[in-house]
Amino acid sequence: MPSKRFQNAFDRLARAEERFLKSEFLAPAVGGGVVRVRIAGVPCELRIRPPRFTGWGMFRPISHDEAELIRQAGLADRQSYLKLFPLVRLVLCRRDEAGTWRGLAAHRDGQPFHIQGLVPIRLADEAEQFETIRARFDGGNFWFEGADARSDPAAARYLRESLIQRTPVDELQRGGLSPEQRAAYAVHFIEPKTSRKKDDGGPPAPHPPTTEQRLREALAHAGAELKDFTERRDGYRVSYTIGGRRHTSSVSKEDMSVQVAGICLSGEDENFDLKSLIGVIREAEGAGEIVRIGEDEYMPEEQYWQIHPRPRRRRRR
């Protein structure tokens, strides 16, 4: 027969589970169709609907092992959750094969604990390479909180441009780069370890073009020059110059179709690909009719899509 102490603990857990089933909860989903929560201190795993959702969500339990998404969590919800955990600052270095950003500690001193080597940062889709970010560590994962306001975004942009040009680490000329930023940059010059395959005597298999090669080729074909790019979950944010003037657009990973052109196209952005967009920008600049879109430009992106809602069906030119 169970002891009274054990029975009391079991009753407390049962009451906590009952309250949980009547509540809503916030949780990050990183793929795999599950989220993890604690009920009365006990870690639990729940399957979610829809199973492909990734991001911060507000969920409602359906049963003891399943929950449904109510809505995406807002900024205030995420901040309240993340403030429960210690703050660390990291320099984003590169994405791994699964698309997860990995970063190095931004400062050797002043961190709440020692961070060694590259660590994965979860849900950092909106961050950019070599950016210094704020993250929160919950004991198992580093969660992206936002850009570090104390850092200089121009330094990250300089490193991205230098990487495109394959500038050696010892030839970086920008003052003020920290040892950690240089270390994050240097990682890209370390040859990855590859397993040796038996030589069957045939010609070596051709390597597929890298993302950089694909972007550079598409832009060069239209007379533009690649400056830097950042990988997102479903696309790339690409910066390039046309006649010396810088532009930034977002394109799809699959076929380089435009997601956000960076100039006003009356909501028809996705009717173009990266190559054809360059000609449109040249024509608009020549006519003096260009309206640039983006947070730091003439019209914020959010306002642009409010004025020009995305069409339900898009035709590719």
Q: Where are the domains of the chain?
A: 18-73, 85-169, 211-307
Q: What is the pLDDT of residue 297?
A: 55
Q: What is the pLDDT of residue 200?
A: 55
3-state secondary structure of 147: strand
Is residue 301 within 8 A of residue 293, CB to CB? The reply is yes
Residues 6+ apart with CB under 8 A from 80: none
DSSP collapsed to 3 states, 160-200: HHHHHCCCCHHHCCCCCCCHHHHHHHHHHHCCCCCCCCCCC
pLDDT along the chain (317 residues), means of 10: 57 66 87 83 85 93 90 92 93 86 83 82 90 92 93 92 91 91 90 51 60 86 87 84 88 88 87 88 78 71 79 50
Is the CATH code 2.60.40 the one for domain 18-73?
Answer: no
| Alpha carbon distance 28, 143 (integer Å) | 9
Q: Which residues pair with 24 in a beta bridge?
A: none
CATH numeric code, 85-169: 2.40.50
Q: Do domains 18-73 and 85-169 have the same CATH topology?
A: yes
Phi, psi torsion values for 311, nearest 5 degrees: -65, 150
In terms of C-beta density within 10 A (0-12 exposed, 13-18 middle, 19 or more buried), how is residue 73 classed? buried
| Alpha carbon distance 137, 87 (integer Å) | 7
- Global model pTM greater than 0.75: no
Q: What is the pLDDT of residue 305?
A: 78
Q: What is the pLDDT of residue 202?
A: 56
Tokens of 175: 């003052």
Q: What is the pLDDT of residue 110?
A: 65
